């Protein structure tokens, strides 16, 4: 286990990227790279006992492959215990959210929650000040995904300052957290979305307020304008979880935003293709782009594990 006596104090919870100072984000990415390199050491890895004697509960109210699997593996590889809560906990229905939180803080050190409203996470954290609450996706943000995205970009591009990341599609939770993290690291962010589907104005203001090294966030309606000269093009599903009833309306609206070879050709030569997954081939991305050498989507998926290990070390293991 690392010597944590000199670890700077950070936010107790990770409900949004904005809970991190830029220096926390940089430290998390550096630690993630280190735990990735150390993984082959198994139980000899420096962080292999970081969560020994600690319990982390997981509560998922929406489907998940990557986030659930990588958090479970991360907790186990850090020597902690996973408490997999069932969805019949029914946050806010069987008993108040605050009561669920106040029970859990008597038993466990942290809780990883995937839910609908960001307010639910905030209420949970406010009711249980001894717990570390981690957002595993809400309707509004997906901060753990943004960590993996920034690590992947760093691996692929080296320094991030002054790079341009173009996000094409729905201004959803993934786009919001991506904008927060990229701006903090000095990455210019271009977001192309149809009218009515842009990221919330509050998220634009937040990203602008945390931007460093001259990073700019620009909104577009034309995908071609957004990707011109970009170092990476990122997209996500046109219909997020909970919006299934809107799928038929959304499909034609988003068709001009498909990431295909023609769109990729407008970006910088050698530009990356990124997607948080699951992907819908023939909708937001073509099979050709998804399977191309530009695609780093499975690096992003792998890096979920390493970043979440780093996050748990910083939030839970280093907590004093
Ligand atoms: N990208 C992502 O969060 O994947 P899951 O929904 O499978 O967890």
* Whole-number average pLDDT of the chain: 96
Task: Inform me whether the pLDDT recorded for 6 exceeds 80.
Answer: no
* Distance between Cα 175 and ligand 1 center (Å): 14
114 has catalytic annotation = yes
Query: Is 174 near ligand 1, meaning CB less than 6 Å away?
Result: no
pLDDT of 318 higher than 50: yes
Asked if 307 is an active-site residue, the reply is: no
| Element spanning 309, H or E | helix 297-312
For residue 34, is pLDDT > 80? yes
Q: Tell me whether domains 17-141+304-319 and 145-300 share a fold.
A: yes
Tens digit of pLDDT for each residue in 224-258?
Answer: 999 999 999 999 999 998 889 999 999 999 999 99
If we measure between CA atoms, which residue out of 200, 263, 193, 255 comes closest to residue 233? 263
φ, ψ for residue 153 (rounded to 5)?
A: -65, -40
Which residues are paired to 110 by β-bridges?
56, 132
pLDDT tens digits for range 213-226: 999 999 999 999 99
Q: In the annotation, is 276 catalytic?
A: yes
CATH number, span 17-141+304-319: 3.40.50.1370
Active site residue 142: yes
pLDDT at 2 over 50: no
Whole-number Å distance between alpha carbons of 179 and 225: 18
pLDDT of residue 3: 52
Q: How far is CA 56 from CA 7, 112, 264, in A?
A: 21, 7, 41
**In terms of Cα–Cα distance, which of 179, 225, 175 is closest to 197?**
175
Catalytic: which of 54, 114, 132, 250?
Answer: 114
277 lines ligand 1 (CB under 6 A): yes
Alpha-carbon Rg for the chain, nearest whole angstrom, is 19
- Output the pLDDT for position 90: 80
Mean pLDDT computed over 262-274: 98
Domain boundaries, the chain: 17-141+304-319, 145-300
When the candidates are 3.30.499.10, 3.40.50.1370, 3.90.550.10, 3.40.50.2300, the CATH number that belongs to 145-300 is 3.40.50.1370
pLDDT higher than threshold 60 for residue 169: yes
pTM comes to 0.96
> What are 141's two structure tokens?
């943000």
- CA-144 nearest atom, ligand 1: 3
């Amino acid at each position: 286990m690392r010597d944590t006596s000199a670890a700077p104090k950070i936010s107790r919870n990770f409900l949004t990227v904005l809970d991190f100072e830029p220096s926390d984000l940089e430290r998390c990415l550096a630690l993630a790279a280190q735990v990735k390199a150390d993984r082959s050491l198994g139980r000899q890895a420096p962080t292999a006992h970081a969560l020994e004697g600690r319990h982390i509960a997981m509560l998922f109210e929406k489907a998940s492959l990557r986030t659930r699997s990588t958090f479970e593996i991360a907790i186990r590889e850090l020597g902690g215990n996973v408490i997999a809560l069932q969805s019949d906990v029914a946050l806010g229905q069987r008993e108040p959210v605050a009561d669920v939180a106040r029970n859990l803080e008597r038993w466990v050190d942290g809780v990883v929650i995937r839910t609908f409203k960001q307010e639910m996470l905030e209420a949970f954290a406010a009711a249980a000040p001894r717990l570390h609450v981690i957002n595993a996706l809400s309707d509004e943000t997906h901060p753990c995904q943004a960590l993996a995205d920034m690590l992947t970009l760093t691996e692929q591009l080296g320094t991030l300052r002054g790079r341009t990341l173009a996000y094409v599609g729905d201004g959803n939770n993934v786009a919001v957290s991506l904008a927060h993290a990229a701006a903090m690291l000095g990455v210019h962010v271009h977001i192309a979305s149809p009218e009515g589907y842009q990221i919330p104005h509050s998220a634009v203001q937040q990203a602008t307020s945390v931007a460093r090294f001259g990073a700019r966030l620009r909104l577009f309606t034309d995908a071609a304008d957004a990707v011109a000269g970009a170092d990476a093009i990122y997209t996500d599903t046109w219909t997020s979880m909970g919006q299934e009833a809107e799928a038929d309306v959304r499909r034609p609206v988003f068709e001009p935003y498909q990431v295909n070879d023609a769109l990729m050709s407008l970006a910088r030569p050698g530009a990356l293709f990124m997607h948080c997954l699951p992907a819908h081939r023939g909708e937001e991305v073509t099979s050709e782009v998804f399977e191309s050498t530009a695609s780093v989507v499975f690096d992003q998926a792998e890096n979920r594990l390493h970043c979440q290990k780093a996050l748990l070390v910083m939030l839970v293991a280093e907590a004093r």
